[in-house]
Structure formats: structure tokens, C-alpha cells
């Protein structure tokens, strides 16, 4: 029935993480102008002061010295220590005082730029003059490019001074400045106002001009890097080179990193205190420190395995998203402040709890972990509670909470239980049903305790009895069909329900098949066959998926939640062939997303080759920060838009936006939406990651390599 599959062995990978560094709330100006690293010390220059942040103690800031004039740049000299370029000249830090360094014939000039040279030397530059500093008593004036205004300096691979100016790039060779030779095609770009230059370890020269970035290879060939090469944004303010050759740029709308030929975009408070990046410095270990208009961020990579990452998200779930087994969103009273959380009882708590139950069952099946089994059992108790607290057997609540509990109650139809102890939310939708039967069937198959299996079967039976007794509709306590709980042939096969017909037919067939599997009661199999043979429900499933971008993203999730039990329990070749047509049409719409949940289910059912490497990259790219920060990709230059708008008439990207760069979502939001977020006012639970990973392990697609 199911096919052998390729198993991808997993190894540790570099997980990108961030930390914001605290600066004093009072005291000197927060306007950071420059950053400099000296071993494990990060020096920050503001308008008024020199600050030191010690590595390993990012929140501890020491104010070292007042700046006698506006600070421009910082640099470390091997013998002289920290040098400070300021409007009134060049200074060195001696103890906790700044001591002025005399410059030959230029003692009163304003120093704007500093850059490390070879053998511990430092270059310093004013607007029109470059100095080479070997020691306090050995400072040489190199004059400057004739008539040019210097905007940046650098040292090339053989120790020559370079200057970016308002008329191109100049190199100091044999006691004179020469303009860098340019091929004709780039002359206009690089003979104008070049803002920043850097030289990487391979001897390549990187140059910026406003929104443009260019690189000169050691073979003296210039090329422009544009949005067509993946450069996300323009308005480049600064550039830095890391130890592995990675290139960082800071812009007015975030930062970008070029690593191993791929650009990554860092913006929003997921990564930065503010999107205006003013300075970047990269340490020997690859940690990048980015000074922004509202503070400093460090972005680094740490070696991690996907299994270790699951432990992180397990802690997220248990810390802020867990109440009597129910898994739910947390609301932050102060945006971004995880200490200000409280849970929200909202529309789809049942569905998100089902995701966690399934994930823990798969984890238990893979590892034998008793913790995983206990987690699954406790969350299953929460799912039982959703049905037990409603007054109708088989009616499942969207959510429940105890009266008087410190919890945010979302809008909608709330009811009080007869004993007055609880509140439950009605108008339950098909979203809950799809998650419920998916999780209950997996719990039944994998939990390994007969008493628990029987509980799952009984719960599924009561819910299905409720549906069948109401002509396959979910009926609320008021006797009315819920807004999205329609599975009835009389309604689904009528013209007014055309958009829901295919998906809801798929769902109810899956639910009936799962219930029959768990209970063994022929009533459910007869109901299933009646819908197939007399009401065309199997055929309805073929056209359940609308094409991207008009298809509703969360319908993908509901469809895949339903395909899994349906194919697992349906043995009839004729019906399986019909369902395969449905699955194939769905897959054509969602394949490019590389979502592991979609991919593993499709590959498991069909045996067709799937792009496991892309799924692993998806999992690796999921950010550890689950706060729903505002994300704005509509300002990017590298994203190609679809000609057609999505179902909400929003512009969407032609290609999926990486997980770490798009609005935070579970499995119910598409990867094409440009902008979104809640301003940091909520935190997701991360259970979707657990489900994807442990399903991949359970189905045999992924395997961790011990001690890799």
C-alpha cells in the first residue's frame, strides 16, 4: 500500500540566532555611530560617549569616556589600543581618558574614517587626507586622491591604501594615488559617488553606491550585484566582511548577509531592534554586531540538530502555551516581552492541540520516550475536555477555560457550563474536526495503552454519531448548523456550497474511515459507502483544491490532515485511485512550498520522489523566536510578484518566502504573503515544528546521525 522511501540522514547545522544588547536607558545619547571589536570587547561610539560591552555579559555596559566632539569611527591598533576618530582629531584610549594623537601637519583636522591595515597598522582619513599609523611616533601622511572627497577607506590584500570617493575608487601605489581601472560597462557606476569599500580575505574589493553593490575579483573584473542576484534591499549604509567570506550590508530597511552564494534578509524585531542599520562589525567567530537606530543586535550561528531544536520548542509549549493539556496562543501584554504573557482561549485551540498530540505520538513511536507519551496523554485529556464540557454529546468546543482564570477570552459564541465553573466556545468549525480525527486516529494507533485507545475510539464515535444524527452537520447548542460545520449531502451538493464541496467531502470521508478503524462499528463504514456511492463524495474530492494564489492557505492544512487517515485506512484500489487524483491536484498547488508536513504525507502515500533536502532546509530555517513580529517584505527588491492577487486581493510573491524572513505562521498561512504580524503582541507555540519533524522521523524520511 505504501512505498519504500529514501531516508535522509541529518547532521548538525548552523542555526541562526539573535540577541539584543542592552544599553543604558539614561545617560549619553543612544545614537550609535560606530562599532569596533577588540578580542571579546565590543566598543560602541555614540554622539557623546564611548561604551564597552563585554562578551558573555551583553547587558553589562561600562561608560569609558566622554567624547570631546562628535565621534565618527573606532578602530584597534596593535600597540596603541583603541583609536577614536572624532571631529576634533584622532584620539587613543588611555586608561579611561581619551588622549589626542598629533597628526603631521594636520593636527586640527577632523578624522572621519579608520581602518585596520597590515601588520597591526591603522589607516585614518579626513575628508581629503589619508594617514598611515604605525605607532604614536610613526604617522605618515599619504595626502589624498587629488580633488576628491573621501567617503571610505580600506587596505587591499597587499597592504595598499584605498579610498572610495565622490569620483570612484583610488589606490595608493608608489607614492601616488591612481584611480582604479574600470571596464567600460561599469564606468558610470564606479566613477561616481562610491560610499563604502571593503576587501575580503580572497582579495575581492566590495563597493557600494546608494542602492548598488559591486565586487572586483582578483582577476580585475567588476560585476554589479543586483536584486536579480538575490540582493534583498538597497539604500546601503554600511558593509562588513566576516571570517568565512560572508558579506553583511546594512540598509535603511534591514540587513542582508551573503553566505555561500545565498542572500538572507534580516529585518523586523525578529532580528533587529530597528530596521535602520548604521554600522556592522563581525567577530572572528562569525558573530555579527549590528548597530541600529534603536540599539544593537548580535546575530550568530550555533551548531544545532533538529532533534535538539524540538527540545527548545517543547519548552516553549510547556512554558507559555499549556493549560490542562490544551495548547494555545499566548498574548503578550507588552509587545515582545515574554514575561508579560497570558494565554488566549481562541477559535482553534482544539486544532492546535491536535497538532501537539500527533507530534508527541510520533515522537513516542520513534524514541519510546515516556515523557512524549505522557505529553500526548495529557493533551488528549484536554481534547476530551473540549467535548465533555458542552451540553450535547459529540459536540466539541473550539476552546474552554475556567471561569475567573487569568486568560484572554477571544470574541465569538461563549457559553457557561451548567455548574458555572467553566466557559466553552461554540460555533465549532471543520478546522477542529480535521485536527481532531487526525490526532485521535494517530493516538489510537501509536499510544500503546489499550485503555487510552478505547478512550480515543469512544470520543471519535460520539462525535461521529453527533454528525450522522444531524445529516452530517455539526449542530450547536442552539440547534443551528455551525458556520463552517457543513458536511450534509443536501447542502454540499447544492450550488451555494460549491467552494466547500470538495474539501468538506474529503474531510467527512476521512473522519468516517478513521472512526470505523477505531471502533470497528459497521455503521460508520456504511455511512462512508453511502456518501461515496449515492452522493458522489469521492468524486467531489478531486476538485477540492483551488490553484495558488486564489486557494485559501489553511485549506491545504485541512486537506493534508484528512488525506493521512483516509489513505492509511482505505484499502479499496478503485477509491484510492480517485483519492490519488485529488491528492495529485492538491500537490500541484502546494509542492513548491516545501512544507515538510505536506511533503512527507505526499511522499508516504505515493512513493514518488520528494525534495527532502528542501524540507530539511525549511525545518532548519524556522526561527527560534516565535513572537509574531510585524514583517514587511513589500519593500524588498528581490521578490518577484505574481500578476494575480490572492484570495484577499493582496499582492503576493511568485515564490515562497523563507521561513525566517516571512510573517510567523503555523501550517495554516501561505508562504507568499509579503507582509503581516501582530506587532509582537502574540507568541506561537511552535508545535507545528514538532509535528513536521517527528512525522518525518516516524515515516522514515529523516534519521538523526548520532555523534555526527
If you count DSSP H runs as helices and E runs as strands, how many of each does the chain have, helices first? Answer: 15, 43
Distance CA 636, CA 631 (A): 11
HEC secondary structure over 222-246: EEEECHHHCCCCCCEEEEEECCCCC
Give the angle subtended at the CA of 20 by the CAs of 36 and 274, to the nearest 5°.
90
Banded pLDDT at 183 (limits 50, 70, 90): low
> What pLDDT is recorded for position 24?
66
pLDDT for the residue 191 = 65
Residue 57, classed as helix, strand or coil, is: strand
Residue 193: C-alpha distances to residues 150, 167, 182, 196, 347 (Å): 10, 6, 14, 10, 55
Q: What is the pLDDT of residue 616?
A: 97
pLDDT surpassing 70 at residue 240: yes
pLDDT band per the 50, 70, 90 thresholds, residue 63: low
Q: Stretch 406-410: mean pLDDT, rounded?
A: 94
Confidence grade of residue 232 (pLDDT, cut at 50, 70, 90): very high
- The CB density around residue 146, as the number of other CB atoms within 10 Å, is 11
Between CA 359 and CA 368 the distance in angstroms is 13
Mean pLDDT within 383-401? 98
| pLDDT the model gives residue 125 | 94
Per-residue confidence (pLDDT) for residue 2, from 0 to 100: 57
Question: How far, in Å, are 59, 71, 364 from residue 336 at the CA level?
Answer: 17, 32, 33
DSSP structure string for 509-544? HHHHHHHHHHH--HHHHHHHHHHHHHH-HHHHGGG-
- Whether 335 shows a pLDDT value over 70: the answer reads yes
Residue 553 is predicted with a pLDDT of 85
Widest CA span in the chain: 100
pLDDT band (50, 70, 90) for residue 33: confident
Rounded Cα distance between 306 and 624, Å, is: 12
579 three-class SS: helix
Average pLDDT on 593-614 reads 96
Query: Using 50, 70 and 90 to split pLDDT, how confident is the model at 55?
Result: low
pLDDT(491) > 90: yes
Across the chain, mean pLDDT equals 91
Read off the pLDDT of residues 503-517 as tens digits, 9 standing for 90 and up.
999 999 999 999 999
CA-to-CA dists, residue 153 to 130, 162, 293, 703, angstroms = 8, 6, 24, 49
- Give the model's confidence band at 76: pLDDT under 50 very low, under 70 low, under 90 confident, else very high: very high
Degrees, nearest 5: CA angle 650-642-500? 60
- Tell which residue, 56, 491, 512, has the closest CA to residue 283: 56
Give the residue from 264, 195, 275, 205 showing the smallest Cα distance to 236: 195
In terms of average pLDDT, the best of 208-222, 224-238, 412-426 is 412-426
Supply the Cα-derived Rg of the chain in whole angstroms. Answer: 31
Round to whole Å and give the CA distance between 128 and 150: 6
Report which of residues 557 and 1 the model is more confident about.
Answer: 557
Residue from 71, 68, 65 nearest 33 by CA: 71
Instruction: Say if residue 71's pLDDT is above 90.
Output: no
- Mean pLDDT, residues 400-427 taken together: 96
Distances (CA, A) of 705 to 9, 612, 708: 6, 16, 6
- pLDDT tens digits along 461-475: 999 999 999 999 999
663 against 118, higher pLDDT: 663
Helix (H, G, I), strand (E, B) or coil at 381: helix
Architecture of domain 306-628+678-704: Alpha/alpha barrel (1.50)
> CA-to-CA distance for 518 and 462, rounded, in angstroms?
12
- For residues 46 and 504, the model is more confident at 504
Residues whose CB is less than 8 angstroms from the CB of residue 180 and which lie 6 or more positions away in sequence, other chains included: 162, 168, 169, 170, 171, 190, 205, 216
What pLDDT score was predicted for residue 107? 47
Q: Are 595 and 667 in contact (CB under 8 A)?
A: yes
In what order do the strands lie in the sheet containing 400-402? 400-402, 422-425, 414-416
Rounded Cα gap, residues 643 and 5, in angstroms: 37
Each residue's pLDDT tens digit, 78-122: 889 999 998 888 999 988 888 889 888 754 578 999 999 887 889
Q: For position 653, what pLDDT does the model report? A: 93
Task: Pick left, alpha or beta for residue 297 (phi over 0 → left; psi -120 to 50 → alpha; otherwise beta).
Answer: beta
**Phi, psi angles (nearest 5°) of residue 649:** 65, 30
User: CB 649: neighbour CB atoms within 10 A?
Assistant: 7
pLDDT in tens, 565-577: 999 999 999 999 9
Phi and psi at residue 485, in whole multiples of 5°? -105, 45
pLDDT at 379 over 60: yes
Spatial distance between the Cα atoms of 382 and 351, rounded to a whole number of angstroms: 11
Q: What is the pTM of this model?
A: 0.94
Q: What pLDDT score does 591 carry?
A: 95
For residue 430, the SS3 value is helix
CB-based contact 16:660 (threshold 8 Å): yes
By C-alpha distance, which of 329, 306, 325, 307 is closest to 316? 329
Amino acid at each position: 500500500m505504501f512505498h519504500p522511501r529514501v531516508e535522509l540522514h541529518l547532521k548538525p547545522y548552523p542555526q541562526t540566532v539573535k540577541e539584543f544588547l542592552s544599553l543604558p536607558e539614561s545617560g549619553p545619547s543612544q545614537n550609535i555611530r560606530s562599532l569596533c571589536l577588540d578580542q571579546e570587547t565590543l566598543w560602541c561610539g555614540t554622539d557623546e560617549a564611548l561604551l564597552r560591552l563585554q562578551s558573555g555579559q551583553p547587558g553589562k555596559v561600562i561608560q569609558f569616556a566622554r567624547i570631546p566632539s562628535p565621534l565618527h569611527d573606532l578602530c584597534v591598533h596593535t600597540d596603541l589600543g583603541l583609536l577614536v576618530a572624532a571631529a576634533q582629531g584622532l584620539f587613543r584610549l588611555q586608561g579611561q581618558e581619551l588622549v589626542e594623537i598629533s597628526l603631521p601637519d594636520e593636527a586640527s583636522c577632523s578624522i572621519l574614517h579608520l581602518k585596520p591595515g597590515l601588520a597591526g597598522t591603522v589607516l585614518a582619513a579626513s575628508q581629503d587626507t589619508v594617514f598611515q599609523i604605525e605607532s604614536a611616533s610613526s604617522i605618515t601622511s599619504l595626502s589624498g586622491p587629488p580633488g576628491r572627497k573621501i567617503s571610505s577607506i580600506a587596505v587591499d590584500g597587499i597592504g595598499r591604501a584605498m579610498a572610495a570617493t565622490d569620483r570612484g575608487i583610488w589606490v595608493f601605489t608608489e607614492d601616488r594615488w591612481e584611480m582604479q581601472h574600470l571596464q567600460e560597462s561599469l564606468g558610470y557606476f564606479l566613477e561616481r559617488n562610491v560610499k563604502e569599500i571593503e576587501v575580503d580575505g580572497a582579495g575581492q574589493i566590495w563597493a557600494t553606491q546608494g542602492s548598488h553593490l559591486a565586487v572586483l575579483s582578483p582577476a580585475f573584473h567588476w560585476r554589479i550585484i543586483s536584486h536579480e542576484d538575490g540582493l534583498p534591499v538597497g539604500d546601503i549604509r554600511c558593509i562588513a566582511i566576516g571570517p568565512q567570506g560572508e558579506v553583511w550590508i546594512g540598509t535603511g530597511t534591514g540587513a542582508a548577509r551573503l553566505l555561500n552564494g545565498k542572500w538572507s534578509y534580516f529585518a523586523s524585531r525578529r532580528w533587529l531592534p530597528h530596521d535602520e542599520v548604521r554600522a556592522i562589525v563581525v567577530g572572528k567567530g562569525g558573530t555579527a554586531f549590528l548597530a541600529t537606530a534603536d540599539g544593537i543586535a548580535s546575530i550568530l550561528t550555533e551548531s544545532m540538530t533538529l532533534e535538539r531544536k524540538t527540545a527548545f520548542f517543547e519548552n516553549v509549549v510547556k512554558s507559555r502555551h499549556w493549560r490542562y493539556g490544551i495548547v494555545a496562543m499566548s498574548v503578550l501584554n507588552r509587545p515582545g516581552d515574554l514575561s508579560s504573557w497570558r494565554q488566549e482561549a481562541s477559535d482553534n485551540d482544539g486544532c492546535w492541540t491536535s497538532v501537539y498530540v500527533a507530534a508527541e505520538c510520533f515522537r513516542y513511536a520513534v524514541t519510546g520516550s515516556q515523557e512524549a507519551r505522557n505529553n500526548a496523554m495529557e493533551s488528549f485529556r484536554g481534547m476530551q475536555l473540549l467535548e465533555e464540557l458542552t451540553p450535547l454529546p459529540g459536540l466539541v468546543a473550539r476552546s474552554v477555560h475556567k471561569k475567573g482564570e487569568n486568560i484572554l477570552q477571544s470574541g465569538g459564541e461563549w457559553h457557561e457550563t451548567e455548574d458555572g465553573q467553566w466557559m466553552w466556545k461554540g460555533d465549532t468549525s471543520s478546522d477542529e474536526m480535521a485536527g481532531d480525527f487526525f490526532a485521535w486516529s494517530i493516538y489510537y494507533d501509536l499510544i500503546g495503552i489499550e485503555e487510552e485507545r478505547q478512550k480515543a475510539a469512544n470520543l471519535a464515535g460520539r462525535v461521529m454519531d453527533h454528525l450522522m444524527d444531524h445529516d452530517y452537520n455539526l449542530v450547536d447548542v442552539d440547534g443551528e448548523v455551525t458556520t463552517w460545520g457543513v458536511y450534509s449531502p443536501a447542502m454540499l451538493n447544492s450550488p451555494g456550497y460549491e467552494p466547500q464541496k470538495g474539501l468538506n467531502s474529503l474531510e467527512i470521508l476521512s473522519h468516517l474511515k478513521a472512526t470505523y478503524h477505531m471502533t470497528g462499528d459497521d455503521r460508520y463504514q456504511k455511512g462512508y459507502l453511502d456518501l461515496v456511492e449515492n452522493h458522489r463524495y469521492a468524486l467531489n474530492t478531486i476538485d477540492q483544491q483551488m490553484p495558488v494564489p486564489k486557494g485559501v492557505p489553511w485549506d491545504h492544512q485541512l486537506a493534508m490532515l484528512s488525506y493521512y487517515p483516509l489513505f492509511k485506512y482505505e484499502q479499496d484500489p478503485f477509491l484510492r485511485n480517485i483519492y490519488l487524483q485529488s491528492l495529485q491536484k492538491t500537490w500541484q498547488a502546494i509542492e513548491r512550498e516545501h512544507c515538510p508536513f505536506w511533503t512527507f504525507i505526499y511522499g508516504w502515500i505515493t512513493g514518488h520522489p520528494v525534495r527532502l533536502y528542501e524540507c530539511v532546509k525549511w525545518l532548519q530555517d524556522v526561527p527560534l523566536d516565535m513572537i509574531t513580529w510585524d514583517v514587511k517584505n513589500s519593500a524588498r527588491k528581490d521578490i518577484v510578484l505574481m500578476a494575480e492577487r490572492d484570495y484577499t486581493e493582496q499582492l503576493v510573491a511568485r515564490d515562497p518566502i523563507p521561513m525566517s524572513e516571512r510573517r510567523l505562521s503555523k501550517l495554516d498561512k501561505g508562504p507568499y504573503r509579503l507582509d503581516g504580524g501582530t506587532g509582537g503582541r502574540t507568541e506561537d507555540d511552535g508545535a507545528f515544528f514538532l509535528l513536521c519533524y517527528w512525522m518525518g522521523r516516524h515515516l522514515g524520511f529523516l534519521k538523526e546521525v548520532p555523534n555526527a
